[in-house]
Structure 1
Amino acid sequence: MKAQTKSSVYMFISFATIFLITRFLLGKFTELSWIWLPIISAGIAVFLAPQFKVVQTKDGEKILMRWIFIKGVKTLK
């Protein structure tokens, strides 16, 4: 699998996980209407989900992750 494909899969999985958790929690603890619940959950997921980028280096392609809970950038591959 290419590094760009892995990066997209990682980003989708992290976004979907955070989206589903926040949607469930907001639905359980708030009285939001049917349209505001996914909109607010998506906004929170976009803010909290880590960002994955592919960078070309001398050693080949590497996947870098940046997240608000981690200082700096973490190399995955």
Structure 2
Amino acid sequence: MNKATKILIIQFLCFAVIFLAARVIIVNFNLLSGLWIPIVSGVAAILLAPQFKVFKVDGKETVFVAWLFSKKGKPVNWL
């Protein structure tokens, strides 16, 4: 499995965890109802989930992660 495939799976898992957490919080506190629950959960997950990108730097594939609260991407060494 190459790095791009691993990154896609990790990015989806981050999105899914944040989406489900936001959905549980919204439902438990009765903040919204109906179709608004998945819409707001999805928007929150899109904004809060980290974004992973694979770039070729010096002939090697390097993974960078960008997040809403960081100004620029940081390299990831654990992949």
| TM-score, normalised relative to structure 1 | 0.88
Deviations 1:10-67 (A, max 9, x none): 1101100100000000011124223110111000000011111110121411111001
Tell me the residue number matched to 1:67: 67
3-state secondary structure, aligned to 1:68: coil
Number of residues paired by the alignment?
Answer: 77
Identify unmatched segments of 5+ residues in structure 1: none
The equivalences for 1:1-77 within 5 A come to 1-77=1-77
Tell me the amino acid that sits aligned with residue 7 of structure 2. Answer: S
What secondary structure is seen at the aligned counterpart in 2 of 1:65? strand
The secondary structure found in structure 1 opposite 2:63 is strand
Is 58-67 or 41-50 further displaced after alignment?
58-67
Instruction: Give the match's secondary structure for 2:4.
Output: helix
Identity %: 39
Equivalent-residue separation in structure 1 for 2:31 and 2:64 (angstroms): 38
Determine the C-alpha separation between the residues in 1 that align with 2:14 and 2:66. 12
Q: Give 5+ residue unaligned stretches, structure 2.
A: none
For 2:36 and 2:7, the matched residues in 1 are separated by: 29
